[in-house]
Structure 1
Amino acid sequence: MAEQIIVELIDGSDPLSSDKLLQQFDQSGIAHKTVEHEPMWTVEDAKKLRTPSPYGHCKNLFVRNKKGAMWLLTLHEDRKVDLKQAASLVGTNRFSFASPQRLMHYLGVISGSVSPLSLVNDIRGEVTFYMDELLMTAPELHVHPLINTRTTTMERQALLSYVESTGHRCHVLSFPD
């Protein structure tokens, strides 16, 4: 039997909804374009549902180490990832994927809906954010706005500024060739 996920953040509060997030963007004058679509659970799903674009498509990994420290890794969708190598690059021993409940408690989303925008729900600032160097040159990024039935397109700098406004710094993840 699948584990029941309690829909609340680590402090017991409700996570921000996709609608409220997009309202925040509108009220703050943050330029974005959001489209509705069928649920996208994987990169393969996303590629089937969208118009091809040469840049800015992401995949997101919410990982932790043995001590319980957590990271959100936002990577180019075609990046092949060795979790041991990624852990070494950020200065820890080993990564494993965080549980669905931990994902809800810290980022306020379910699997398939993770994106840098989820950091708005990390109210204690416990998640360290890394972005793939390949995405740092993309003029626009395509991310889920807290739900996997929508995709929001934003200028990269607007997204990074928003992430910073949540109290999170963007570290660049550089993979060796």
Structure 2
Amino acid sequence: MPKTETDLQAFLADTGIDATTARHPPLFTVADSQALRGNIAGAHTKNLFLKDKKDNFFLVTVDEDAEVDLKQVHHLIGAASRVSFGRPEMLMELLGVIPGAVTVFGLINDTGARVKVVLDERLMDNDIINAHPLTNEATTSIRSSDLVRFIKATGHDPVILKVTA
């Protein structure tokens, strides 16, 4: 059973990470979430759950306005081939979330560290980063340095790369 938003908040607290969460109606796309600008400070994320032909999985987290060249990103992230979006079943199995709620916080559910996490370096230039806390009905704000701490605490080794133009 995937971890819940409550489990995530407890994990963050136990790890000594300060986070604030704002509730809102469900948001399924970046366009939906842009309606909240001004209410929640900091950078807002777009998350791409990708796989290559050898069933290696990647979570690429970038700023919501960033563009990722899906025909070329495999060269940057160490994929065995060009990538495609991972199937919803694998998204649920590995990150414990549904399409429309993909989040870097889903790494808490990837206990086998099967997903390689890639953070765009331009996103990481922001002091505060916002992501869904395992549900698209809320946004959690966290310091960029604490996001790296969170990822490491889940057993993943975050890679920070320039993946956007």
Same fold (TM over 0.5): yes
Kindly indicate whether the alpha-carbon contact (under 8 Å) linking 2:131 and 2:139 is maintained by their aligned counterparts in 1.
yes
Question: Which of 1, 4, 7 in structure 2 is aligned with 1:20?
Answer: 7
Inter-partner Cα distance in structure 2 for 1:126 and 1:38: 31
Give the 3-state SS of the residue equivalent to 2:71 in structure 1: helix
Render the CA deviation track for 1:69-95: whole Å, top value 9, x for unaligned: 000000111111221111121233201
- Which string of whole-angstrom CA distances, capped at 9 and with x for unpartnered residues, describes residues 110-165 of structure 1? 11211111101011111000001111111010011111001000111111101101
**Cross-structure match for 2:126:** 138
Which amino acid letter does the alignment assign opposite residue 3 of structure 2? L
Give the whole-Å Cα distance in 2 for the aligned partners of 1:55 and 1:101.
31
66, 70, 76: which one aligns with 2:57? 70
2:140 to 149, 152, 158: 152
Distance in 2 (alpha carbons) for counterparts of 1:54 and 1:153: 8
**Structure 1: any 5+ residue segments left out of the alignment?**
1-13
- Alignment gaps of 5+ in structure 2: none
Give the letter for the 1:111 counterpart: P
Query: How far apart, in 2, do the equivalents of 1:114 and 1:30 lie?
Result: 21
In structure 2, give the amino acid aligned to 1:57: H
Query: How large is the Cα RMSD of the aligned pairs?
Result: 1.6
Within-5 A mapping of 1:64-103: 64-92=51-79, 93-103=81-91
Query: Aligned-pair distance for 1:23?
Result: 2.3
Matching residue's letter, 1:138: N
Taking structure 2 as the reference length, what is the TM-score of the superposition? 0.93
Contact persistence 2:42–2:126 (CA under 8 A): yes
* Same amino acid, percent of matched pairs: 37
Q: Does the 8 A contact of 2:63 with 2:123 survive in 1?
A: yes
Partner of residue 50, structure 1: 37
Q: Secondary structure at the match of 2:58?
A: strand
Between the aligned partners of 2:32 and 2:52, the Cα distance in structure 1 is: 28
Is 1:111 equivalent to 2:99 in the alignment? yes
Matches of 2:93 and 2:160, distance apart in 1: 25
* CA distance, structure 2, for counterparts of residue 176 and residue 19 of structure 1: 32
Give 1:37's match in structure 2, choosing from 24, 42, 46.
24
Number of equivalences? 164
Amino acid of the structure 1 residue aligned with 2:142:
M
Instruction: Flag the structure with larger Rg.
Output: 1
TM (normalized to structure 1)?
Answer: 0.87
Quote how far apart the aligned CAs of 1:27 are.
Answer: 3.9
